[in-house]
Structure 1
Amino acid sequence: MKRALVIVFAVFLAIALSLIGYVKIKSKALPTGESGPVADALANDMLQAINHEAWLKTGAIRWHFAGRQQHLWDKSRHLARVKWDKLEVVINLSTREGVVYRDGQIIDEDKEKYLEQAWAHWANDSFWLNPVSKVFDQGTSRQFIPMEEGLRGLLVSYDSGGVTPGDSYLWVVGENALPVRFEMWVSIIPIKGLAATWDNWTTLSTGVKVAQDHDLGFLEVGLTEINAAFTLEELEGETDPFGVLF
């Protein structure tokens, strides 16, 4: 028995050391570059490329994230409906208060937990929907990073906000200023500098451009059934999906 336990421990230790070694090999140091006007100019080029003005005028948007969460976001009032598994949460994103349904019935058990999960889902999934529009958010800093020929880099660091403040993203953009990938230095991913592609750009009905497909090498993340409108009523009809909050 002791010999078997020693063997099992040795196997787990070998696996753990291998994973640590793999993470160290694949990880990259956070780059440094030039802040100020040159970085802000690239950030503005990116905003223009995705038509940020159209994003500001977009009042409501609906999408599915990675085949798991279904979102309806009332941008004008900062409200959201998030569905996953058998749950549906209608939440005020500013106060994080709301109503939780399971199988169509309002529940109070574990309500606060599900409200926090819904907010975290929205924060993560809306970032993947259109993070370019957040490059000048409060608490961000920007650095211009030299890249290979034909590409430019913008390192955006978030000192506050979101689920994991302190994260940094290196945007790599082409000649048209649309991102082709970003590299992530985030607390929830052990590999530092992990890259994700930004593919299959599409223009929504309000005029804003978003990327639908992302390849992380070992995982593909897709955004599907994306629909946007200037008003919630235009997107959902006259019945207010968020009426239960008022």
Structure 2
Amino acid sequence: MKKVFLYIAAIILVLVIGGYLILNEKLPTGENPAKADELANKMLKSLNKSAWDSTNVVAWTHKGGHQFVWDKKNQLVEVKWGENDVFLNLKEWNKGKAFSEGKEITDGQLDVLRGKAWSIFCNDSFWLIAPYKVFDEGVTRKIVKTEDGSEALLASYSSGGVTPGDSYLWILDSNDAPKAFKLWVKVIPIGGVSATWDNWKTTETGAIIAQNHKLGPLDLNVTDLRTGNDLAAVKVDASLFDKIK
């Protein structure tokens, strides 16, 4: 029986290694940063980046489980998942508060929950607004020629978020809007995995945001997306963040 299990394990290992060798793509080097900046600006124009910049508040649910209210103007975030409700002040970390099952957490778990909320926010907000972040500090941009001869935009992040070093190759449509990107990220061992960007919504403030993503078998969808100039505009109590300002 032991030999049978070892045999099965060996087969699984071979399949995993074989799948990796077949599916894994090397990160392209890219070229022409100046032309890449031009393409990046075209992409941002197609998504009305100026409207996103002037959006003060955005609220959404990610993948049906994580709920967010993000006061961009004042750099305040509420992250809710399961029985947890965490408030982050991105300017003054020590002002952040956490609640679990309705009770405020004041012991060592406070930093644990704040750290978890920050990680969730970084990941889920990237899936919300990644196209708008191609000119963030620490990002380099290059042009990559695809197999069909078109130009794609490679954005590599040397800093920011919780996984600096990740790279994304944006595939654009004929209107310069993203339709997919390929990922080279630490959390996925296979390079070049593709994710879609579709079901674009023009929000209340004019920013254009994709609500549906398909990453392999996973659906990473955005629901209940609302934007506005203040908390009331996204149907949230105006006093939500008073406790951590």
Task: Check whether TM > 0.5.
Answer: yes
Q: Secondary structure at 2:2's aligned position in 1?
A: helix
Partners of 1:70 and 1:57 in 2: CA distance: 22
Shift of the 24–94 alpha-carbon distance from structure 1 to 2, 3 Å rule, reads farther
Tell me the amino acid that sits aligned with residue 125 of structure 1.
D
Task: Provide structure 2 residue ranges, at least 5 long, that are not aligned to the other structure.
Answer: none
Shift of 1:150: 8.3
Partners of 1:13 and 1:95 in 2: CA distance: 51
Moved over 4 A (4+): 148-151
Shift of 1:148: 5.1
Shift of 1:233: 3.8
What does 1:176-187 correspond to in 2, within 5 Å? 176-187=175-186
Q: For residues 109-150 of structure 1, what are the alpha-carbon distances to aligned partners after superposition, in whole Å with 9 as ceiling and x for unaligned? A: 411111111000100111010111111111010001123558
In structure 2, what is the equivalent of residue 103 of structure 1? 101
Partners of 2:110 and 2:14 in 1: CA distance: 40
In structure 2, what is the equivalent of residue 71 of structure 1? 68
In structure 1, what is the equivalent of residue 162 of structure 2? 163
Percent of residue pairs bearing the same amino acid type: 39
Partners of 1:96 and 1:150 in 2: CA distance: 47
Aligned residues between the structures = 243
What does 1:227-238 correspond to in 2, within 5 Å? 227-236=226-235
In structure 2, what is the equivalent of residue 133 of structure 1? 132
2:16 paired with 1:19 = yes
Tell me the amino acid that sits aligned with residue 90 of structure 1.
F
In structure 1, what is the equivalent of residue 224 of structure 2? 225
Shift of the 227–24 alpha-carbon distance from structure 1 to 2, 3 Å rule, reads same
Task: Provide structure 1 residue ranges, at least 5 long, that are not aligned to the other structure.
Answer: none
TM-score, length basis structure 1: 0.93
**Further displaced range: 89-98 or 115-124:** 89-98
Decide whether the 8 Å contact of 1:35 with 1:143 is kept in 2.
yes
Q: Secondary structure at 1:129's aligned position in 2?
A: helix
When the two chains are superposed, the root-mean-square deviation of aligned CA atoms in Å is: 1.6
